[in-house]
């Protein structure tokens, strides 16, 4: 078998194979597919929304929810990832220099709204 054939073979393996999991950085031996990652993300997001609704309705106590534990992946960032992060940081710095310094219209209204919301929250908790 040539190296090219071996590469084609490895790339053709299913996502939940041990080899693909090891290449992705799976240190715990858990073989997750894209569907598993998506389902875990959705379950954790749903639990956050439940907690928000629970607190929003003023229900006493906390819901008995346990987040889905995802596997830890040990993949060092590639040079491409590092250069992309550096470029993004430079772009953000350039944009922050272009931000207008003058007063933002409606800022006082937002401060008043924030103060009234905080006072309501204080009266609800009392």
Average confidence score pLDDT of the chain: 79
Prediction pTM value: 0.43
pLDDT at 105: 61
**pLDDT by residue (tens digit) across 82-122?**
888 888 888 888 877 776 666 556 667 777 888 888 888 76
Distance from C-alpha of 126 to C-alpha of 41, rounded to nearest angstrom: 35
Q: Token match 């006082």: residue?
A: 108
1-6 own/partner pairs: CB under 8 Å, 24+ apart: none
**pLDDT by residue (tens digit) across 65-77?**
899 888 776 777 6
Q: What angle do CA 60, 66, 72 make, to 5 degrees?
A: 145
Contact, 43 vs 25, CB < 8 A? no
User: Does residue 39 register a pLDDT over 90?
Assistant: yes
């Amino acid at each position: 078998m040539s190296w090219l054939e071996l590469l084609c073979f490895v790339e053709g393996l299913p996502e939940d194979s041990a080899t693909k999991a090891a290449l992705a950085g799976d240190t715990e031996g858990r073989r997750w597919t894209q569907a598993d990652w998506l389902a875990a993300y959705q379950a954790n997001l749903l639990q956050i929304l439940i907690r928000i609704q629970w607190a929003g309705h003023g229900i006493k106590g906390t819901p008995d929810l346990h987040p889905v534990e995802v596997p830890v992946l040990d993949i060092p960032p590639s040079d491409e990832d590092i250069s992309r992060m550096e470029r993004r940081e430079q772009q953000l710095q350039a944009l922050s220099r272009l931000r207008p310094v003058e007063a933002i219209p409606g800022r006082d209204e937002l401060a008043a709204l924030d103060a009234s919301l905080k006072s309501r929250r204080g009266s609800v908790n009392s």
